[in-house]
A and B are shown apart, each in its own frame.
Chain A
Amino acid sequence: MEKIYSSPETQCRLITSRPETVKFLLDYSRSLHMREFKGMTIEQNLN
């Protein structure tokens, strides 16, 4: 039987951020520390 249904075309282009970007985030995560000081939370970035 003739195929009469067309498959819908996806309008969305699938994108993945580069491994370098992910690596940067992982390094950022490892270097980020929170310190409590007089009731305040201070972000500390230790590279």
Chain B
Amino acid sequence: MSPSNTDAPRNLFRAIATDLHFWIPLCVLLGGLFLLDKLR
């Protein structure tokens, strides 16, 4: 059975949250913000 349309945002969120490719840039971004805070 195909998922209903109302599940689409939840499925999209799950696909992104379980994608390692998402977490690598996010961690680097947080590191960059930390460095910027130290530099200012």
* A and B pair up: no
Q: Which residues of A contact B (CB under 8 A)?
A: none
